[in-house]
Each structure stands twice: as C-alpha cells, then as structure tokens.
Amino acid sequence: MFAERTNWNLAGNRLSEALARHRAGGKRLFDLTASNPTECSFAYDSETILAALRNPAALRYEPNPKGLESARLAVTEYYSARSAAISADDIVLMTSTSEAYSFAFRLLCNPGDELLIPAPSYPLFAFLADIQDVKLVRYPLVYDHGWQIDFHSLQQAITPRTRGVIVVNPNNPTGHFVKEQELAKLNELCTAREMALIADEVFLDFALGDARPVSFAGNTGALTFAMSGLSKIAGLPQMKMAWLITSGPQRLKKQALERLEVIADTYLSPNAPVQLATPVFLEQRHGFQKQVMERVRKNLTELDRQLAAQRTCVRLELEGGWYAVLRVPVVQTDEELAISLLDAKDVYIHPGHYFDFAGDGYLVLSLIAREEEFAEGIARVLLASEEKKKI
C-alpha cells in the first residue's frame, strides 16, 4: 500500500520509551535537551509580536513564488547588518529550513543521487533525504582541540552521483564554524566536481568569540544555497519563516533560481500574516539573541566550574551555537548511559549516537536550558559518572 521511502521503523527507541515512562510517573525531570526557545523562559515582546500579525494587508492574497518583497527586503537588511550584500531577487522564502533543504534536494538530485553530510551532525537529515529519495553519504569532522572538516575523507566520499556538500555553520551539536580556508577548499572542490554547496546557517548569529564568522550567503565560488530562518535567529520557530539564498557563478545561479521559482510557485507555502510581520520579527532578534548569549555564557561558565572539580568528564571546545558536547568514560553505550541518567538521576540528556558521533562516550547538552535546571542536571550527570568510575 505504501511507498518504500516511508517504510520507517516507527517504534519508539528505548530512550524515548524511558522518557515517556518517566513523565507518566510524574517524576521530576532535569531536561538538558531543552532547546525549544519558546519554553526556555526567555522574555519576548509579546505585544509587538502579536500586533505585527494584525496587518490589514494580510486580508489580500498576493501570490509571489519567491515570497512577498517586503519580507525579502527585510532579509536583505539582516544580511547587510552582517556586511553581506544580498539581492532580494536571490531569496526564496519558505516555512522552515527543513523545507529549504527539501527544495534544494529536489532541485539538485535525481532519485538515488548522493549528498555529503557532516558527521557528527544533526539528526533531521535522514528523514529529509528519505522523503526526497536522496542518499546521504557521511564525511567526518575531526576533533583536535577544535573541530575541522576531514577533507581527505570528504574527497574519498565523492562519487559520480554526488550532487552536493551540506555544511552546517556553525554545526549542531559540535558548535564550530567553517573557516575561511575551508570555504575556499569547498569552493574549489565543488566547482571542479560540479557539485553545489548547501549551507545551513540557522545558528550563525550565536558566536561566542569576537571574530565575525564566515557566511555562505552570497558565496560566489560554487553554486551555493545558504539557508536560515526565524526559528533560531529570533527564537520564533512557531512562526514558520525561513529562506534560501542562491549564489554562485552567474549562469548556474540564474538557472537554479528559475527552477527554484517553479518549485516554490507550486507550493506558495509562506502565509501572508507572517510574511508581513517578518520585518518586525527580524527586529526582535536583537533582544532575543542578547538573552540567549547571556544564558549560553552563564551555563558554559557553570559547566566549566563543575568540570574543574572532577577528572572524569571533559567538555569539547566550541565556538558557538546552543549546544555543548561532553566526553564521558565509555563504560556502556551512550544510549544505556542516557537511560540510566534518566532512571537513576532524573536527567534527560541526548546520547552522542543521535548525532552520529564516531563512537560511544559523548553526551550532548543544550546550553539554553534554564540556569538552575542546567546546574542541577550537570551536577547529577557528573555525580553519576564518578559513581560509575568507582564500580
């Protein structure tokens, strides 16, 4: 009855079952995975946000495949504040970066074609690829006092069916940015092998250092699709507004935009009230990002303070984003560890294997969790690691 591509194993995994049991038992939970910004006690200017949705212009239907010009112009202003000159003509609006990935996959890949994805990285790719009949091939990121792309392995992963390279900048959950030299190498490789670059920059604004990270938006070396959206930038995932920016050699860029426009015209997915409110929502990012960076810095300081008092676990270096990676002793699989932390210590934390780490011994935690919950959750994780070491 159903297509092969939807033949997923939909049974819950052991950790999600343990979490459901925990919640059903009404027990206390220290949630170190909390990353829904609307549930992390940030202050939003609710009056301004709601007022922006009451624009009378929303009563008119003005279909535009790329999205309303006023919203696209607001996106160009977001980039000009980062000193990137992006034309509104090169932007296509959509409802989420997941949709942006889907459009880019559809544009580039025939069924069975391949895309390179970083490992470790974030777990949504598998479903996106299945739905679009695309095959994902991993290229490793290597850690040595910071993360970088393993270019040798990336090159070896390329086959005649490879249509593009996906980069997440900064990556989730490793929190590292693509460097200038890496961008140059990616441009060179993609141009030589006729591949596109697909860059997910939803966390670009959340850098911990002073240096401004490199952005792929407007990159002209190879055909490039840079995506971002309000979900992380302004902490408004419920508003469903994201964009895809096409750039690269003129001829390829023009063809890509013409085809993307047809895909976008087929769906016309962003709604009028949210498009009209996008300039206001983008303005809201300043207050939101300030709060997030304060939270991330405080939680990192607390994490480092607790780590300094023990010798069992270490945190991997990070440059930005909302997550930190903890290296823990390998005495069981990461999934078993996460389940035991839930059962014995009431802490919910993501095991590294969710993010495709090369081996066990990694836990991923959200740095935007509420401060008290974060501090107590970390204390419990570290206590459990000490106890396990003694066994």
Could you tell me how many residues of this chain bind ligand PLP (CB under 6 A)? 12
Shortest spacing between CB 282 and ligand PLP, in angstroms: 14
162-168 and 323-327: which strand pairing?
unpaired
Task: Using CB under 6 A, pick the residue from 19, 40, 167, 202 that binds ligand PLP.
Answer: 202
Convert residues 145-184 into a mask of x (bound to ligand PLP by CB under 6 A) and - (unbound): -----------------------x---x------------
Please identify, using beta-carbon distances, which residue of 108 and 202 lies nearer to ligand PLP. 202
The structure tokens 């002793």 sit at 329
Which backbone phi and psi does 337 adopt, to 5 degrees? -60, -45
Is residue 256 a contact point for ligand PLP (CB under 6 A)?
A: no
Which residues ranging from 270 to 309 are in contact with ligand PLP (CB under 6 A)?
none
DSSP letter for 13, please: P
Q: Which stretch binds ligand PLP (CB under 6 A): 95-103, 139-147, 250-258, 341-349?
A: 95-103
Q: In this structure, what are the phi and psi dihedrals at residue 158, rounded to the nearest 5 degrees?
A: -75, 135
Stretch that binds ligand PLP, among 92-100, 147-155, 254-262, 268-276 (CB under 6 A): 92-100
Footprint (CB under 6 A) of ligand PLP, residues 113-152: 122
Strands (E), the chain: 30-31, 91-94, 114-119, 135-143, 147-149, 162-168, 196-200, 224-229, 242-247, 314-315, 323-327, 347-348, 350-351, 362-366
The minimum distance between CB 31 and ligand PLP, in angstroms, equals 15
Cβ-count burial of 115 within 10 angstroms (0-12 exposed, 13-18 middle, 19+ buried)? buried
Peptide bond into 120 cis (omega under 30): yes
- Residue 231 in contact with ligand PLP, rule: CB under 6 A: yes
Does 98 engage in binding with ligand PLP (CB under 6 A)? yes
Amino acid at the residue 72: R
- Report d(CA 371, CA 132) in Å as an integer: 39
CB of 355 to ligand PLP, least distance (A): 10
Q: Looking at 14-22, 229-237, 360-368, 374-382, which segment touches ligand PLP (CB under 6 A)?
A: 229-237
Of 172 and 219, nearer to ligand PLP (C-beta) is: 172
Q: Does 242 bind ligand PLP (CB under 6 A)?
A: yes
DSSP string for 144-209: SSSEEE-HHHHHHH--TTEEEEEEESS-TTT--PPPHHHHHHHHHHHHHTT-EEEEE-TTTT-BSS
Q: Point out which residues bind ligand PLP (CB under 6 A).
A: 96-98, 122, 168, 172, 200, 202, 229, 231, 237, 242
